[in-house]
């Protein structure tokens, strides 16, 4: 088992993580994943996040969206922004699987809601074509349905799994990562959890340590190479704080601070998206007991800090837990391989006097 960030002594930020150090530390949140490895070329998968185990179409949760660079195909984004709510789970796939995933989410939702005539399926993506035969479109509707139906509230598998099976980050194997933060009672006592699909680049920082430069792999190293910068990242943030969609959009934006702390380049070809939602029963739509008051603006800052910290650590976990993946390019027949980051090299870098 490859280590997580905390196994290496990394402690990004100031707040403590939850018991699982995962998005599922937010009560009610479920995560399901299906990994598709077939033949020599298919290296992809599905990751699904369900805000609660009930009927989300009937009990919608407030949500907000933040976009830094919109180079992506995020289905359902405009209605999410317009109404400030989720009526479907969030599903992550690869770029050319968005259409099939939307159909599967619609089927899944219609089967549970015979009166529904419209479904806003929220499906995000990153392009895993560097390792995956993306044109073969290996993800099926059944894969999406399995991820949705198999979602659980326990530990979340990380690294080269689900929608992170074929992704690449900072020149190394990327993947799925997750983390959480607990606020002390004096600051509300809420939990903030993050899940990322890392497939982007820059100059990797690990809790402020320039590991990418130390290991000689970073964006613009030769002043011409863009290979380790372009890509995309999807971030999902969950909290049990009673937030409005407006403050959830503000919370989602702080995810970008977490990405920046990892050394993200936010390049022209990178799609950088974050969706935040609240699981608090009082802000569900419709809520059984009526909507509770929105958490006040002047008390949002600790939540902002927690979101940035959780996203930063989730990215580090996605890299550290990822394993080396190989495939073969169907067009050229050439072998493709992206190495997982060398754990011993990371340990050595963190021990260096110039690591700070």
pLDDT score at 220: 61
Position 221 pLDDT exceeds 90? no
Span 231-255, pLDDT tens digits: 899 999 999 999 999 999 999 999 9
pLDDT score at 222: 56
Which strand (E) or helix (H) includes residue 82?
A: helix 77-83
For residues 119-127, average pLDDT: 98
CA distance 343 to 256: 26
Q: What is the DSSP string of 5-37?
A: GGGGT---SSSBP-SSSSGGGSTT-EEEEEEEE
* CATH number belonging to domain 5-349: 3.60.70.12
Span 83-119, pLDDT tens digits: 999 999 999 999 999 999 999 999 999 999 999 999 9
pLDDT score at 342: 97
Q: Which residue has the tokens 């982007």?
A: 200
Check 179, 198, 270, 327 and give the catalytic one. Answer: 270
pLDDT score at 227: 43
198 vs 219 pLDDT, higher one? 198
> Where does the pLDDT of residue 39 fall: very low under 50, low under 70, confident under 90, or very high at 90 and above?
very high
Check 179, 180, 198, 232 and give the catalytic one. Answer: 232
Q: CA dist 270 to 93, 128, 239, 285, Å? A: 16, 12, 26, 33
Q: Is 272 a catalytic residue?
A: yes
Which pTM does this prediction carry? 0.95
CA distance 306 to 243: 15
For the chain, what is the mean pLDDT?
Answer: 94
Residue % of the chain over a pLDDT of 70 = 95
Structure tokens at 100: 């099939």
Q: Is 270 a catalytic residue?
A: yes
CA distance 356 to 348: 13
CA distance 256 to 244: 20
Torsion sign (Cα): 9, 237, 158, 183: positive
Which strand (E) or helix (H) includes residue 343?
A: helix 343-351
pLDDT score at 226: 42
CA distance 323 to 336: 14
**Other beta carbons within 10 Å of 351:** 9
Backbone angles phi, psi at 48, to 5 degrees: -120, 135
Domain ranges of the chain: 5-349
Span 263-311, pLDDT tens digits: 999 999 899 999 999 999 999 987 545 666 778 889 999 999 999 999 9
Span 136-145, pLDDT tens digits: 999 999 999 9
Span 182-206, pLDDT tens digits: 999 999 999 999 999 999 999 999 9
Residue 246: HSE in the Cβ half-sphere, 13 Å Cα cutoff: 4
pLDDT score at 294: 79
Position 224 pLDDT exceeds 50? no
Q: What 3-state class would DSSP assign to 284?
A: coil
pLDDT score at 219: 64
CA distance 217 to 215: 6
Position 314 pLDDT exceeds 80? yes
Contact between residue 79 and residue 120 where contact means Cβ atoms under 8 Å apart:
yes
Closest C-alpha to 312, from 180, 153, 165: 180
Q: CA dist 243 to 106, 239, 294, Å? A: 27, 9, 5
Q: CA dist 326 to 159, 194, 201, 233, Å? A: 14, 28, 20, 21
Q: Is 232 a catalytic residue?
A: yes
Position 228 pLDDT exceeds 60? no
Check 133, 245, 272, 278 and give the catalytic one. Answer: 272
């Amino acid at each position: 088992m490859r280590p997580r960030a905390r196994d290496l002594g990394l402690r990004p930020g100031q707040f403590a993580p939850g018991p699982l150090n995962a998005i599922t530390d937010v009560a009610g949140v479920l995560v399901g994943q299906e990994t598709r490895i077939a033949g020599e070329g298919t290296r992809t998968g599905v990751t699904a996040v369900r805000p609660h185990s009930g009927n989300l179409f009937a009990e919608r949760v407030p949500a907000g969206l933040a976009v830094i660079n919109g180079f992506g195909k995020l289905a359902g984004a405009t209605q999410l922004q317009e109404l400030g709510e989720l009526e479907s789970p969030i599903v992550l796939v690869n770029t050319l699987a968005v259409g099939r995933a939307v159909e599967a989410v619609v089927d899944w939702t219609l089967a549970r809601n015979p009166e529904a005539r419209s479904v806003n399926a929220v499906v995000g993506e990153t392009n895993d074509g560097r390792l995956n035969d993306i044109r073969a479109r290996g993800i099926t509707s059944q894969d999406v349905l399995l991820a949705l139906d198999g979602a659980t509230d326990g530990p979340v598998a990380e690294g080269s799994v689900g929608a992170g099976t074929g992704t690449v980050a900072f020149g190394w194997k990327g993947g799925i990562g997750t983390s959480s933060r607990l606020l002390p009672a004096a600051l509300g006592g809420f939990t903030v959890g993050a899940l990322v699909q890392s497939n982007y680049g820059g100059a990797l920082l690990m809790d402020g340590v320039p590991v990418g430069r130390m290991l000689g792999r970073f964006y613009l190293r030769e002043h011409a190479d863009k290979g380790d910068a372009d890509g995309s990242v999807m971030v999902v943030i969950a909290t049990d704080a009673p937030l409005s969609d407006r403050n959830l959009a503000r919370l989602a934006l702080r995810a970008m601070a977490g990405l920046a702390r990892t050394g993200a380049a936010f390049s022209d070809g990178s799609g950088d998206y974050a969706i935040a939602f609240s699981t608090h029963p009082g802000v569900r739509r419709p809520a059984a007991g009526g909507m509770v008051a929105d958490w006040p603006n002047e008390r949002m800052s600790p939540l902002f800090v927690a979101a940035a910290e959780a996203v930063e650590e989730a990215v580090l976990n996605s890299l550290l837990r990822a394993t080396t993946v190989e495939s073969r390019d169907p067009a050229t027949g050439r072998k493709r391989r992206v190495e997982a980051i060398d754990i011993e090299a990371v340990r050595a870098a963190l021990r260096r006097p110039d690591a700070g």
